[in-house]
Structure 1
Amino acid sequence: MPVHTTGVNDGGRRRGAGLGIALLSAVAFGGSGVAAKPLIEAGLHPLHVVWLRVAGAALVMLPLAWRHRDLLVRRPALLAGFGLLAVAGVQALYFASISRIPVGVALLVEYLGPALLLGYIRFVQRRPVTRAAAVGVVLAVGGLACVVEVWSGLGFDALGLLFAFGAACCQACYFVLSDQGSDAGDAAPDPLGVIAYGLLIGALALTVISRPWNMDWSLLAGTADLDGRPVAAYLLLGWVVLIATVLAYLTGVLSVRRLSPQVAGVVACLEAVVATVLAWVLLGEQLSAPQIVGGCLVMVGAFIAQSATPVKGSSAPVAAGGPVPAGPAAAPVLGTADREPTG
């Protein structure tokens, strides 16, 4: 009796394409730090860099927002949630946390998204999760602790940790909200419209927090130092806006639609590794042995978690993975001794 494998092959191709898009998103998000840090060192406040990033991306996406303006009536709650939580919430809470606790500690808490997604699926959606999923999450979080060298700046502040945990919750919401309506067929909200309005709403919220009218705009007409090489500030800002924000969010949401929040999230854990490697290559920051080992652990954890997860739509147990971002957070993971918040 012949065995029909067309569906399996289509599912495998869809999964492979989704993983490729998720990896591209992780690389795009992870590249924000190396472009933003020179701007900060040139004199821009980190919050102003974040505002320029989100507001610039919102301006680029404005034509798409107009094209999908029906979403304002059809899915206002989704748009508000994506803008306030997945865009502005991650940024604001991350910066609030690093004002009170070390950057490495804040990043580690923020990257608890995999565990939060696992708990959401198991206890809120009441769906089973596999043991491999839990193992992958533990390895990824442990690897991230090594990548950010959390022990180098241990310091605890209850409010700071609460802010960091809030950023982790917002980060997990990014993946959950990105998946909303993906099974609704033609009635599903267009991801381009969701991202466009999310960035617009996020930019408005961040305007109140960052107060860009106090920014020294003349700095954008000058140059910034990229490991001893002068680079036009507007070119670095263009990278942050177009690649690390527009492309990163587009590919991130599309990867969730093709895979699941869990799988796309665990691949996004590679953002911290990408950011560290790019800082080593482009900024001349050194990688320590624990960071190299941690990066390997993150990759192993991501592989275990994604390989244990069936194609989206299956009734089989669902594996869990985790978040970002710096993904949406676009949080920097720089060298061992000098980490700067880049938003």
Structure 2
Amino acid sequence: MTRRTTDVLLTATAPAIWGSTYIVTTELLPANYPLTVALLRALPAGLLLLLIVRQLPARAWWGRILVLGALNFSILWAMLFLAAYRLPGGVAATLTSLQPLFVVFLASLLLGVPVRALAVVAALVGIGGVALLVLTPQATLDALGIAAALAGAASMALGTVLSRRWQPPVSALTFTAWQLTAGGLLLLPLALWLEPPLPALTAANWIGFAWLGLIGAALTYIVWFRGVARLEPSAVAPLAFLSPVTAVILGWALLGQSLSVPQVAGILTVIASIWLSQHAQRGAPPPVLARPAAR
């Protein structure tokens, strides 16, 4: 197994685990606290990682870390939750799956990576696979929900590309700690202002928050940002298609939800799109980016 294959497989574990977010949120967490849940997923995990690394960003990096924290966490999670409330889950997931397609063109604009036709085809195939997985004929549309889903996809795409462009001279663990903390701090005033206090938490609530924070945020984003640093953005972004695959499989395995023939076809289509996206990058060296010196 090559080093690149190892990097791809390891990075793929992050979005696969993110697919558990839906079942954890619906089954273990208090309902109707989207911003508070996002805050408690990001900030405690970020502070815990900061205690481990014991390193703050140099002053020259503060602005960039705030931008990345907003894109990768604050804006992304707020928009995803808003879309989930305003749209059927299938519509929201399908629109959010446009993210890898956005990455292809943003990487060309910001990193100088050529737009490869096969990468575009792979992204379109993946979007079709997600639609087969989650979209139903009864789906209804809402303008604000559509805007939120597209904003979430664009935020994640831009965050992925800029995380590749702005690589501080620190470990993935430290980079993740900074971004989670920044994203959580940006969410804090919004959660306090827009949502009521949480009710008394049950044991199930604590387990849910622990999973989302320690595993669904801290661990997975260390793996994700490691992959962003080692692989081309157009190879990393399509791995996010694994999230709805995991969500559907967990719903079938744990909640007794049905798994239809179109959904099985969607899973196979998503896998094919990820293979195509990786094939499109073969022989193409990752862009060489200057790493600013620590200050």
- TM-score for the superposition, normalised by structure 2: 0.87
Contact 1:269–1:298 (8 Å) recurs in 2: yes
> Equivalents in 2 of 1:133, 1:44: separation in Å?
38
The C-alpha deviation readout for 1:159-192, integer Å capped at 9, x for no partner, is: 332222111111102311321345xxxx634322
Quickly say closer, same or farther: Cα 1:47–1:80, change in 2 above 3 A: closer
Shift, 1:147, TM fit: 1.4
Quickly say closer, same or farther: Cα 1:89–1:312, change in 2 above 3 A: farther
Q: 1:92 aligns with which of 45, 58, 78?
A: 78
SS in 2 for 1:129: coil
- Identical-residue share of aligned pairs (%): 26
| Equivalent runs, 1:225-240 vs 2, <5 Å | 232-240=204-212
Matched with 2:105 is: 119
Q: Which amino acid aligns with 1:47?
A: L
Quickly say closer, same or farther: Cα 1:38–1:62, change in 2 above 3 A: same
> Equivalents in 2 of 1:43, 1:123: separation in Å?
40
Matched with 2:191 is: 210
The C-alpha deviation readout for 1:201-260, integer Å capped at 9, x for no partner, is: 211222222228833342x2x24xxxxxxxx33223211111111111111111111212
Shift, 1:134, TM fit: 1.8
Q: 2:120 aligns with which of 134, 142, 148?
A: 134
Contact 2:239–2:274 (8 Å) recurs in 1: yes
Matched with 2:14 is: 25
Matched with 2:278 is: 306
Q: Which structure 1 residue ranges, 5 or more long, are not aligned?
A: 1-11, 224-231, 316-343
> Equivalents in 1 of 2:58, 2:236: separation in Å?
27
Matched with 2:4 is: 15
Q: Which structure 2 residue ranges, 5 or more long, are not aligned?
A: 288-295
The C-alpha deviation readout for 1:102-146, integer Å capped at 9, x for no partner, is: 332222222211111122234554542333212211110101111
> Equivalents in 2 of 1:86, 1:300: separation in Å?
26
Residue 219 of structure 2 is aligned to residue 247 of structure 1: yes
The C-alpha deviation readout for 1:284-329, integer Å capped at 9, x for no partner, is: 22222222211111110010111220366358xxxxxxxxxxxxxx
Matched with 1:6 is: none
Q: Which amino acid aligns with 1:110?
A: T
SS in 1 for 2:86: coil
SS in 2 for 1:155: coil
Matched with 1:258 is: 230
> Equivalents in 2 of 1:124, 1:54: separation in Å?
27
Matched with 1:63 is: 51
Q: Which amino acid aligns with 1:206?
A: L
- Higher fraction of helix: 2
Larger Rg computed on CA atoms: 1
Q: Which amino acid aligns with 2:198?
A: D
> Equivalents in 2 of 1:211, 1:288: separation in Å?
41
Quickly say closer, same or farther: Cα 1:87–1:49, change in 2 above 3 A: same
Matched with 1:335 is: none
Residue 29 of structure 2 is aligned to residue 47 of structure 1: no
Cα RMSD (Å): 2.4
> Equivalents in 1 of 2:210, 2:279: separation in Å?
36
> Equivalents in 1 of 2:98, 2:226: separation in Å?
22
> Equivalents in 1 of 2:212, 2:58: separation in Å?
27
The C-alpha deviation readout for 1:87-114, integer Å capped at 9, x for no partner, is: 1010112223334333322222222111
> Equivalents in 2 of 1:68, 1:308: separation in Å?
38
Quickly say closer, same or farther: Cα 1:282–1:200, change in 2 above 3 A: same
- Equivalenced residue count is 286
